[in-house]
Structure 1
Amino acid sequence: MQTKTFSILPILLAIASGALLPHSASFAAVHHATKPAPHKKAAATENTPPPLAAQTTLAGSPPALPAKAWLLMDFDSGEVLASANPDEPLPPASLTKMMTSYLVEQALRSGKLKQTDLVSVSQNAWCRGSSTESCMYLPLNSQATVIDILRGIIIQSGNDASKAIAEHMAGSEEGFAKLMNAEALRLGMTHTHFVNPTGLPDPAHKSSARDLAILARAIIHDSVDYYPIYAEREFKYNGIKQGNRNALLYTDPTVDGLKTGHTEDAGYCLVTSSKRNGMRLITVILNTHSAQARADETRTLLGWGFSSFEKATPIQPNTVVTTAKVSFGKADTVAAGLGAPWMLTVPRGQQVQTSVELKSGLEAPVTKGSVIGKVVATSNGKPMGEAPLVAQADVERAGLLLRTWQHMAKLLGK
């Protein structure tokens, strides 16, 4: 295949001028299933959707964003801090590839795949070198390592890489889509149905802003060894250097992922994660009108999120929260506390209240660390999260004579 070289300089110049063009010369391909005519580009600008106000929020005055759906999630708790149309199934375009890369990462993690395994490029997977789709530019009938394929999916958004790994792992795109849907079900993505590993248009291929945030959170949490790839700005393969299309990676050092997407039906989409001062937020923008808009709207949403929320510790670690009564044990009570440190993301400046709910009818034996209740946190009457309460010690079951006495005392109301 003819070697091609692309410079990243146009990207940096575009960013410096405040506009990252979706058809920058630094990209070997763009996120279109079919290449739009010039008049359609102009129409996209003219037909900017009206600002969409938040339908749910945990703090006042979130921004209204011109998109079909958007969402802000706290990474630690998974709590949705603000959203609009979070559960509307929409075309996800190349955001689909987050599930493709996630399945690859989990297969690497479990040992089903190795980084050095070779993946073959079939006629079906091969990109023919046109500018009508995003490609890694894997040569036909060649082989590439799994780790290169993974980078080609995440950084270059390669349809060829996605198809090749799908065929490698499941025999076909259809077979891989079954794996994708099974994993979506396991993660609780209830408004998602995948048809292919690329996000190329299909009427049945849908996902929602909430589901894509759930998926992003799973990637960050489960793919620790591979998540840094989502922050890489460029990847060179087969002599072709392509830049990451996430403009925020070049302008905001707190952003470290995740994925862009674009087709005519899906509009311009972006899922992003940012970590500032120990707090990580995830944003989803679906179906806005330009690459510049998806970046600007994400910046706006992140700015509002980090200025409106802060971390709080409702209960300090190693604290006895309450004492639970135990029946038929050598001890009548057991101390209850948190099993792990607990932090919440709450509206800035608001106080957090906690209440305790214990399991009723707790009987010995009780094992240290077993869940015996929960503590619920609220702020201004709104639920903010909950954490399990666990026994801080073992309580052995009493002998027969003592149990009989305790049972009689219980009957007599003593």
Structure 2
Amino acid sequence: MKRGLSASICLLLIMISLPSTAVITPNPPELSAKGYVLMDFNSGAVIAQQNARTELAPASLTKLMTAFVVGQEIRSGRLAWDDVVSVSKNAWSANFQGSSLMFIKPKDEITVRNLMTGLIVQSGNDAAVALAEHIAGSESAFVSLMNGWAQSLSLEDTRFINAHGLDGDGIKTSPLDMARLLTALIKELPEVYQLYGLKTFQWNDITQYNRNKLLWDRSIDVDGGKTGYTEAAGYSLVSSATEGSMRLISVVMGASSEQSRASASKALLNYGFRFFDTQQVMDEGQIEARVRVWKGQPENVGALVDQDAYLTLPRTVSSGLSKKVIVDKWITAPLAKGDLLGRVEWRNGGNIVATYPVVSAEDVTLSGWVGQVWDGIKLRFSKMLAWLSSQMGGGND
């Protein structure tokens, strides 16, 4: 048994392909886009998708990662919202004619908060470069940070080449990666995410409006997201909306127009809220089983889930859910708190619909040498009996 494996590595697996006899849920809406994903925020379940892992040009969706890196610098204490950034010639808006701009110029002294607002609301390419240079010394060094964070978030289809997202060789992402990125941003950086709900921002006597049209739609509670457009990418939109305690993330990439990306995103979100539901089924720290630890002190340890656990299922699935705890029978000391012990499987009609890791609730040290020898003998005998049972056709579940 490998030790030190965190629950975040053993991520939950959600499957909603339940038997057709048990679930009557319509197909997702047909959308005109290069790819899309609809994901539940809490469970991570992918409710609907098309070309979810197709590599596409991100355009200004790149700025989600730019903002994420800045937010992590603030979170770590290495940067503050009120820090003042001196704008260089590289970040001058004149360098990005015909693209989204905050309209800053060399030698401007601007706070991180204002640049972040210009980055998020106005999608300023100039603001992206100014922030990148302030944090890392150069845009290229900042891009290394972006790609490092992409790797840590397991964004397997993503590679950044700049801080703003304008087209270039090698830049890529996927709808699934963008859904995961926005999820991480909302969870880890709520103060940054609040800026995505702002509808307007004025800088240099120019008032600009957030390009996410769903922020103005009163029929759906979208509280943030990011738009993107280049000729290579088409029109893209990442959005998040809530209904009651449920939050969904939608990603539409490569639509044909601003209106198309907004209407497609709304259709996806409405589909998810209407036909699916997410419920919390386990609490962080909840003990699911007691596990025998050979050669250890104590001899038994609690196996717990170290995160709140959620299930996202079609609303027509109202009964038949069952839970099964599966742990390794041959766990030996020493153990560290948080070591992986097994998993909890949630099933519906015999089908696994979700899996969560269970980990050790405490440290387990080696027992004395007499206990280790005696447990070693019992362990060998137990394994022999289990092997004989399996050879005779007995179950070993």
TM-score normalised by structure 2 residue count: 0.81
Q: Does 1:256 align with 2:223?
A: yes
Q: Is the 8 A contact 1:314 1:377 kept in 2?
A: no
For residue 4 of structure 1, what is the aligned residue in structure 2?
A: none
SS in 1 for 2:180: helix
SS in 2 for 1:321: strand
Q: Does 1:304 align with 2:282?
A: no
For residue 198 of structure 2, what is the aligned residue in structure 1?
A: 232
Q: Does 1:357 align with 2:326?
A: yes
Q: Does 1:175 align with 2:144?
A: no
Q: Is the 8 A contact 1:129 1:137 kept in 2?
A: no
Q: Is the 8 A contact 1:123 1:140 kept in 2?
A: yes
The structural deviation recorded for 1:256 is: 1.4
Give distance in 1, aligned partners of 2:285 and 2:109.
Answer: 53
**Are residues 408 and 246 of structure 1, via their aligned partners in 2, closer, same or farther at CA, if it must alter by over 3 Å?**
closer
Of 124, 133, 156, the residue aligned with 2:122 is 156
Q: Is the 8 A contact 2:91 2:105 kept in 1?
A: no
In the TM superposition, what whole-angstrom CA distance separates every residue of 1:152-209 from its partner, at most 9, and x where no partner exists? 0001101111111122223333232222222212211111121111111213222111
Give distance in 2, aligned partners of 1:71 and 1:78.
Answer: 11
For residue 108 of structure 1, what is the aligned residue in structure 2?
A: 74
RMSD across aligned positions (CA): 2.7
**Are residues 240 and 383 of structure 1, via their aligned partners in 2, closer, same or farther at CA, if it must alter by over 3 Å?**
farther
In the TM superposition, what whole-angstrom CA distance separates every residue of 1:220-263 from its partner, at most 9, and x where no partner exists? 11112221111111111222211111111111462111101112
Which aligned pairs between 1:14-413 and structure 2 lie closer than 5 A?
58=17, 60-128=26-94, 132-252=98-218, 254-315=221-282, 321-329=288-296, 333-350=300-317, 351-364=320-333, 371-380=340-349, 382-391=351-360, 398-410=367-379
Q: Is the 8 A contact 2:196 2:224 kept in 1?
A: yes
Tell me which of the two structures has the higher relative contact order, counting C-alpha pairs closer than 8 angstroms and 6 or more residues apart. 2
The structural deviation recorded for 1:108 is: 1.2
Give distance in 2, aligned partners of 1:283 and 1:85.
Answer: 14
Give distance in 2, aligned partners of 1:130 and 1:336.
Answer: 55
Give distance in 2, aligned partners of 1:365 and 1:336.
Answer: 15
The structural deviation recorded for 1:368 is: 6.5
Deviates more, 1:371-380 or 1:209-218: 371-380
Give distance in 1, aligned partners of 2:77 and 2:285.
Answer: 37
SS in 1 for 2:163: coil
Aligned residues: 359
SS in 1 for 2:190: coil
In the TM superposition, what whole-angstrom CA distance separates every residue of 1:76-123 from its partner, at most 9, and x where no partner exists? 232322210111111111111111111111111112222222222222
**Are residues 163 and 338 of structure 1, via their aligned partners in 2, closer, same or farther at CA, if it must alter by over 3 Å?**
closer
In the TM superposition, what whole-angstrom CA distance separates every residue of 1:38-87 from its partner, at most 9, and x where no partner exists? xxxxxxxxxxxxxxxxxx97565111110010101111232322210111
Give distance in 2, aligned partners of 1:261 and 1:412.
Answer: 63
Which residue identity does 2:63 align to in structure 1? K
Deviates more, 1:290-299 or 1:111-120: 111-120
SS in 2 for 1:219: helix
Q: Is the 8 A contact 1:77 1:385 kept in 2?
A: no
* Percent identity of paired positions between Structure 1 and Structure 2: 38
Give distance in 1, aligned partners of 2:243 and 2:156.
Answer: 30
The structural deviation recorded for 1:360 is: 3.3
Q: Is the 8 A contact 1:137 1:238 kept in 2?
A: yes
Give distance in 1, aligned partners of 2:57 and 2:242.
Answer: 27
Give distance in 2, aligned partners of 1:135 and 1:313.
Answer: 42
Which residue identity does 2:125 align to in structure 1? N
Q: Is the 8 A contact 2:63 2:120 kept in 1?
A: yes
Q: Is the 8 A contact 2:89 2:105 kept in 1?
A: no
Deviates more, 1:389-398 or 1:95-104: 389-398
Deviates more, 1:128-137 or 1:258-267: 128-137
SS in 1 for 2:43: coil
Deviates more, 1:243-252 or 1:324-333: 324-333
Q: Which consecutive unaligned segments of at least 5 residues does structure 2 have?
A: 1-14, 18-24, 386-397
Q: Is the 8 A contact 1:314 1:352 kept in 2?
A: no
Give distance in 2, aligned partners of 1:261 and 1:102.
Answer: 16
Q: Is the 8 A contact 2:96 2:125 kept in 1?
A: no
Give distance in 1, aligned partners of 2:288 and 2:150.
Answer: 36
SS in 2 for 1:282: strand
Which residue identity does 1:361 align to in structure 2? W
Give distance in 1, aligned partners of 2:335 and 2:293.
Answer: 8
For residue 388 of structure 2, what is the aligned residue in structure 1?
A: none
Which residue identity does 2:234 align to in structure 1? G
**Are residues 206 and 57 of structure 1, via their aligned partners in 2, closer, same or farther at CA, if it must alter by over 3 Å?**
farther
Deviates more, 1:74-83 or 1:365-374: 365-374
